[in-house]
Structure 1
Amino acid sequence: MDPEEEKKISSALSDVKISGSIFKHKNEGPIKEVYKITRKIGSGAYGEVRKCYVRESGELRAVKIIKKKALAEDERKKLKNEAEILRQLDHQNIIKLYEIFEDKKYYYIIMEFLTGGELFEKITDEDFYGDFTEKDAANIMQQVFRGINYCHANDVVHRDLKPENLLLESNVTSESLGGKKSMKIKIIDFGTAQQYKVGGKSKMEERYGTPYYIAPDVLNKSYNEKCDVWSLGVILYILLVGYPPFNGSEDKKIIDAVKKGVYTLDEPEWDDVSSEAIDLVKKCLTYDPEKRISASEALEHPWFKKFAKGEKVKKSLASKALSNLKNFRAEQKLKQATLAFIVSQCLTKEETDKMGEIFAAMDKNNDGMLSKEEISEGYEEHFGIPIDDEELDKIFSAIDTDGSGAIDYSEFLMATMNEQQLMSKEKLKQAFKMFDKDNSGTISKQEIREALGNLDEEVADKMISEVDDNGDGEISFDEFERMMNMVAGAKSKGEL
């Protein structure tokens, strides 16, 4: 190959963008080869939810099994819309989609398994709600606002926020409240979510939502992303006093009350609520969306500063993470893709919790992504010296594998987690199997092309040649493992 052609292919390879979202796709194989499906944990009009286990690792997940014949055309569209939007979202407070299977009769949606139930169930449980404090409300609402602010920053509007669509990651009892145990919230049900240019002049017109929580601007069929903020204002109101601001004996009466937009803060229950909380309720339930607070502005509100302290991050842990971030290198695109797969598909909650706290602490503007300024601030805070622009550019060049201009949550995990944990033999086998679709024991050029979105043949050849030690044109597991374990840079292997 002449040098000019070689240069062209190398340039095309360096332009390949790697994101965990490419692995959240429709899986063509039979689901039972990948998952062991066990007991039913819920059911609805279109199907049921069951526990399932990854056969390779034993990891517990949830599978939503949906009967195709039960779905009308608009319901199929909603399902596809939800899957497409969840593929793109990468946030600690948004439910995680792993992959989708399909056969003649059913769709199978593989999601993370959450054990805590609906927030709605908790706030209607007198034993639980009796011990519920304003600090607990602030902890919950800060997480939900963070998730929605991230959505809005990525031009996604949820359009059906309500307590039933907020799940607790794990079970919380009244004894575990009062700051003794953090309630991790996950936003679910993106079926009516919409890609929408936030900050643009166009308005959405379709009427979606639930009577208690729907914004008046949605009822008027001219609205923007701030319809979500109104819904969060209603949820906040309920968390603070136990009943909704707009009520009625039937849906029509509730809708009429919402259209008027008149609510009261004069009932005795409000006597023990802080002035900061009342002010935030008013700002969220401002009738005119142009004057209504944004999700980003809400997160800067004094109420959160006063009541939602957040988890205190251990300084030594944060310093180790930042050191790993600085030293992360994964020059080969195949290594980047493998790490993206492991982070996207193979990590457990226990493995990511600590890094999640550090990420949230560094994300000063709460948009769910780390900018160069936020990374720089983190360094100065933990090491006492600023990081120069050249070093910062190197960090972003190595870690921002999807080329977004910011470091998202999965990219942060990829760069900061302990390598021995991230690249255990078990996880490497899972990743290898993902590429090796025909179970031949080697990864072919065609398998790489398919896994990474139909790359050009020459680019796939180049990816293989970087790893193919024996020159047979394919990658064995030994070659794959050697590539992954190659010491690149000086990333610390210390425990995190």
Structure 2
Amino acid sequence: MAPANGDLQLLKADYREAYKLGKTLGQGAFGKVKLATRRSDGIEVAVKLVNTNEWSERERKQFENEIRTLYELQHPNIVRLFDVYESEPRQYAMIMELASGGELFDRIQQRGSFSEQEAQFVMRKLLSALAYMHKKDIAHRDLKPENIMYATGEENSEPKLTDFGFAKKAQPIEEDVPAGATSPPPGALKTRLGSPNYVAPEILTSKTGYSTSVDIWSMGVILYILLCGYFPFYHENERELYRQIKAGKFDMPVEEWGHVSDNAKDLVRKMLQINPKKRITAHQALRHPWLRGEASSEIMPEETLKAFSDMNRIRKRSFKGAAQAIAAAVRTEKARGGEGKAEVGDVAVLAIQKARRAAAAAEEDKEYTNASMAFADEITSDEVRRPEPKGGAGRAAAGGAGAKKPMHPAQAGNSGGGSPMCTSCALM
């Protein structure tokens, strides 16, 4: 494999001479992540061990892209890549900054409290990282809470963006698309990937590619969740979920949003602007009144925290099931003399529905083919729902087969429904 760029050189040495390995921190589709201590000064790092011997050429290129991108990014709110070792052919050790403070949503749940002021702190940091990335024309393309980690467990620890497996340089679109073009220009961002509830509408619809603005949409979904405890778009049917996202309609019912400031609501609306050309940029968002002012330190209502806790609990359970199903599917296919072509590593997404399809295909001795999009999820809406409206107001009937009843009469006829959904997880 070629060096990641002119500055990063692959170290042809045994990384264990420089680092002492500790416990396993995680394991995903592309290998293990281990805790390690640098022998020279005792500093703890994370070592991502990647064996590419059985990978397809596409997967290797994706890995090369990840280390190119990550090494280029040096920002206090982006996890750092220090070195890459190749101790044996096609076996790599990525020496990375250790983020030991846990995931964003886990941290909130463990604390048991959250305020608009804390949401403001998180957004300032993460939008600063996005502004830095977007100035370099780099799009993350898979922003979600699982990819936001805290540096340490300390109270004022910095949140950091992680998992740059889908990150890519974005080519300007407007100047390069001929009039009447029906396909993206060479080099444009065009791959349909991401995680279902966080994906920007233009990823689903654009014929001319998309830009770094997809990250702003995803971050807007995260901000929406932080402020109310559930997703702006939900449906248990994948097609219907994407229809909602493409329509771009969401609500902020007073029963759950009464405690949220008008400035915070305004920023959410600007980030969830369906037209990417009108959507606020990261630089503009940092100058928004909500991020420049003083947000409320009042603890959010109990109903909001309960909805958030329920969503996070189901999300964690679904992730574990997805990982187990995917691993079983690959093992079964390999045991039958195949090459592990459950294709689940194709985009490194651990999704419940995808895992079930892969496992079913393996049981029938068939090769599993990826869906056109690299994400899917299948959590029943009855398991986790938005908080009931105060006063016990009933739900109006929703239009559309299989749709959940909307929480507020204003939503009637919008089969978007009202229940939050736990999305699929990716572990690199």
| TM value normalised by structure 1 | 0.53
State the distance in 2 between where 1:254 and 1:121 align. Answer: 25
Pairing 1:275-314 to 2, within 5 Å after superposition: 275-307=262-294
Q: State the match for 1:378 in structure 2.
A: none
The structure-2 alpha-carbon separation of the partners of 1:155 and 1:211, relative to structure 1 and needing over 3 Å to count, comes to: same
Give the one of 154, 158, 164 matched to 2:146: 164
State the distance in 1 between where 2:11 and 2:282 align. Answer: 35
Give the one of 145, 153, 159 matched to 2:135: 153
Q: State the match for 1:228 in structure 2.
A: 215
- Give yes or no for contact 1:91–1:147 (8 Å, CA) kept in 2: yes
State the distance in 2 between where 1:118 and 1:70 align. Answer: 30
SS in 2 for 1:238: helix
- Partner amino acid for 1:157? A
1:101 maps onto 2:101 in alignment: no
- Partner amino acid for 1:32? R
Q: State the match for 1:119 in structure 2.
A: 104
TM superposition shift of 1:201: 3.1
Q: State the match for 2:368 in structure 1.
A: none
Give the one of 171, 174, 186 matched to 2:160: 186
- Give yes or no for contact 1:241–1:269 (8 Å, CA) kept in 2: yes
The structure-2 alpha-carbon separation of the partners of 1:267 and 1:74, relative to structure 1 and needing over 3 Å to count, comes to: farther
Q: Which runs of 5 or more structure 1 residues have no equivalent in the other structure?
A: 1-20, 173-180, 310-496
The structure-2 alpha-carbon separation of the partners of 1:284 and 1:156, relative to structure 1 and needing over 3 Å to count, comes to: same
Q: State the match for 1:252 in structure 2.
A: 239
Q: State the match for 1:269 in structure 2.
A: 256
SS in 2 for 1:108: strand
- Give yes or no for contact 2:173–2:210 (8 Å, CA) kept in 1: no
The structure-2 alpha-carbon separation of the partners of 1:219 and 1:250, relative to structure 1 and needing over 3 Å to count, comes to: same
SS in 1 for 2:196: coil
- Partner amino acid for 2:162? I
SS in 2 for 1:223: coil
SS in 2 for 1:227: helix
Give the one of 125, 132, 147 matched to 1:143: 125
SS in 1 for 2:33: strand
**Aligned residues: percent identity?**
37
Give the one of 76, 84, 90 matched to 2:60: 76
Q: State the match for 1:87 in structure 2.
A: 71
- Give yes or no for contact 2:116–2:295 (8 Å, CA) kept in 1: no
Pairing 1:314-463 to 2, within 5 Å after superposition: none
Partner deviation per Cα, 1:150-192 (whole Å, 9 max, x = no partner): 00111211111111111111115xxxxxxxx324111111111
State the distance in 1 between where 2:256 and 2:166 align. Answer: 34
Q: Which runs of 5 or more structure 2 residues have no equivalent in the other structure?
A: 177-187, 297-428
The alignment covers a number of residue pairs equal to 278
SS in 1 for 2:197: coil
- Partner amino acid for 2:164? F
Give the structure with higher Rg (CA).
Answer: 1
- Partner amino acid for 2:117? K
State the distance in 1 between where 2:8 and 2:97 align. Answer: 12
- Give yes or no for contact 2:199–2:214 (8 Å, CA) kept in 1: yes
- Give yes or no for contact 1:46–1:70 (8 Å, CA) kept in 2: no
TM superposition shift of 1:199: 8.0
Partner deviation per Cα, 1:394-451 (whole Å, 9 max, x = no partner): xxxxxxxxxxxxxxxxxxxxxxxxxxxxxxxxxxxxxxxxxxxxxxxxxxxxxxxxxx
Q: State the match for 2:356 in structure 1.
A: none
- Give yes or no for contact 1:153–1:198 (8 Å, CA) kept in 2: no
TM superposition shift of 1:252: 3.3
- Give yes or no for contact 2:171–2:189 (8 Å, CA) kept in 1: no
Pairing 1:469-480 to 2, within 5 Å after superposition: none
SS in 2 for 1:61: strand
State the distance in 1 between where 2:248 and 2:97 align. Answer: 37
Q: State the match for 1:238 in structure 2.
A: 225
TM superposition shift of 1:101: 1.1
Give the one of 140, 160, 175 matched to 1:201: 175
Higher helix share: 1
| TM value normalised by structure 2 | 0.62
1:67 maps onto 2:54 in alignment: no
SS in 2 for 1:304: helix
Q: State the match for 2:384 in structure 1.
A: none
The structure-2 alpha-carbon separation of the partners of 1:115 and 1:220, relative to structure 1 and needing over 3 Å to count, comes to: same
The structure-2 alpha-carbon separation of the partners of 1:244 and 1:36, relative to structure 1 and needing over 3 Å to count, comes to: same
The structure-2 alpha-carbon separation of the partners of 1:297 and 1:194, relative to structure 1 and needing over 3 Å to count, comes to: same
Partner deviation per Cα, 1:185-229 (whole Å, 9 max, x = no partner): 111111111112458634522212111101001111332111111
State the distance in 2 between where 1:254 and 1:72 align. Answer: 31
Q: RMSD of aligned C-alpha atoms?
A: 2.0
State the distance in 1 between where 2:34 and 2:158 align. Answer: 22
State the distance in 2 between where 1:247 and 1:184 align. Answer: 30
Give the one of 44, 49, 58 matched to 2:33: 49
Partner deviation per Cα, 1:21-41 (whole Å, 9 max, x = no partner): 866431111112221112111
- Partner amino acid for 1:78? Q
Give the ranges of 4+ consecutive aligned residues of structure 1 lying more than 6 Å apart after TM superposition: none
- Partner amino acid for 1:61? V
State the distance in 1 between where 2:229 and 2:139 align. Answer: 26
- Partner amino acid for 1:138? Q
TM superposition shift of 1:44: 1.3
State the distance in 1 between where 2:54 and 2:240 align. Answer: 31
State the distance in 1 between where 2:74 and 2:162 align. Answer: 13
SS in 1 for 2:246: helix
SS in 2 for 1:293: coil
- Partner amino acid for 2:199? I
- Partner amino acid for 1:191? G
Which deviates the most, 42-51 or 296-305?
A: 42-51
State the distance in 1 between where 2:238 and 2:20 align. Answer: 42
